[in-house]
Amino acid sequence: MAGEPVNVNEFQELAREALPKMYYDFYAGGAEDQYTLKDNVEAFKRITIRPRILVDVSRIGMSTTVLGYNISAPIMIAPTGLHKLAHPEGEAATARAAAASKTIMILSTGSSCTMEEVASSCNAVRFFQLYVYKRRDIAAALVHRAEKNGHKALVLTVDAPRLGRREADIKNKMMVPGLKNLEGLLSIEVDSRFKPRSFFSKATMDASLCWKDVEWLRSLTNMPILIKGILTREDAIKAAEIGVAGIVVSNHGARQLDYSPATITVLEEVVHAVGGKIPVLFDGGVRRGTDVFKALALGAQAVLIGRPVVFGLAAKGEHGVKRVIQMLKDELELAMALSGCPSVKDITRSHVRTERERLL
C-alpha cells in the first residue's frame, strides 16, 4: 500500500503485507463460513446516524469511566492472544500504547508475554481475561497472579467451552509457540509444539463451566468480574442477577459460533435486559469512529477493539497501535461534532436509526 494509512482498514492491508500468511490468517479469520465475521462489520453499515444541528460543538469531550477508571475515550483494547506473532515486542508494546493512549488494556490468558512482563513495561490500567481449564488450580493460580500484578478486573470469557472451527488455521496447520502465562502450569498437556487445539482442546478446557462457577471465581479474588461473550437478553438478565461488575456483548470476533448474530444487532436487547444495573461493554467489528458512536447510542459504555490493534501492532509496532486508537478517537470526535454531541453523555438512542426502524 502506498503512503501512510488514513484509516484502520488500511492497517489491515499493511498487516497482510507484513505478516506470514499463516499468522495473518490467524488474526483475520473467523469460524467456518465466516458469515458472522462479515456481518459484525456489515451490520454497522445498516445503522445510520441522526445528527442534530446548531448545537455548540466547539469543544468535544470524549473521556469516560469504566469501573471507575478514567479513560480518554470509550475505546479499550480487547483481549487477543499471541501478540508476538505480530511483533517481537508483543503485548508489552501493546500495553505501552494503551498507556500512551490513556485507555485500558485487557490482557489475554493466551498472551505471548507473561503478565509480569506486561505489568513491568507500562503503567496502563490492565484487566485480565481468563479462560478456565479443567484443572481449576490453573485458573486459581492465574487469578492470584493477575491480582498480584495489579490487574484491576477479571474478564471471564464464556463463549469458548470449545475452540471454534477456524478453517484457515486448519489448512495452514497453524502452530502456536508457548503461551507464556501458562508455562509450567499446563506442563502435563503441553509439549513444545503447542497447537491452538491443545490450548483449547477438549482435554484441557473446562466445558462444564456454569453460572455457579462465577461464585467460585469470586471466592478467589477481590477483583471485580466481568463476563465476556453475552449475546442474549436471557443471559444478560442472569448476569445482572448474580451481580457481576459488568458484561461484554461479544461473539469473540466471530471466531467461535458462526451464525451467531452480529454483535451490534443484539446490543440494545442486552442493554434493555440489564436495565442500567451493570455496565455493558461491546466488541465486534468496530472499524470506524462512527461505529463507536453507534455502539454508544445503543447503550454501550465503551467498545473494545480486537483485530485493529493486532493489525496496528503488526504494521508498525507500538506506534501502529497508538495510531489505530488515535484514528478511531479522531473519527469519533468528528462524528460527535457533526452529530451535535459535545460529550459522550450527549450521544443518545435517538441519534441512530437501526435497520429495523428504517424498514418500519
CA distance 121 to 99: 10
| Closer by beta carbon to ligand FNR, 57 or else 251 | 251
CA distance 197 to 211: 25
Residue 223 in contact with ligand FNR, rule: CB under 6 A: no
CB 247 within 8 A of CB 281: yes
**Beta strand 280-283 with 246-249: parallel, antiparallel or unpaired?**
parallel
Residue 81 in contact with ligand FNR, rule: CB under 6 A: yes
Residue span binding ligand FNR (CB under 6 A) among the ranges 8-16, 45-53, 235-243, 299-307: 299-307
Q: How far is the CB of 291 from ligand FNR (least distance, A)?
A: 10
Active site residue 252: yes
Residue choice 36, 94, 103, 108 for contact with ligand FNR (CB under 6 A): 108
Q: Which residues pair with 48 in a beta bridge?
A: 353
Residue nearest to ligand FNR (CB): 306
| Closer by beta carbon to ligand FNR, 110 or else 279 | 110
Helix then strand then coil, % of the chain, to nearest 5: 45, 15, 40
Q: Residues 233-272: x/- map of binding to ligand FNR (CB under 6 A)?
A: -----------------x-xx-x-----------------
Report which of 333, 334, 312, 306 is spatially closest to residue 10, judged by C-alpha positions.
312
Q: How far is the CB of 356 from ligand FNR (least distance, A)?
A: 22
CA distance 24 to 26: 5
Residue choice 122, 153, 305, 327 for contact with ligand FNR (CB under 6 A): 305
- Beta-strand ranges (E) seen in the chain are 48-49, 64-66, 69-71, 75-77, 104-107, 125-130, 154-157, 225-230, 246-249, 280-283, 302-305, 352-353
Residue span binding ligand FNR (CB under 6 A) among the ranges 68-76, 88-96, 178-186, 304-312: 304-312
Residues in contact with ligand FNR by the rule CB under 6 A: 27, 40, 78-81, 108, 110, 129, 157, 228, 250, 252-253, 255, 283-286, 305-307, 310
List residues with catalytic annotation. 252
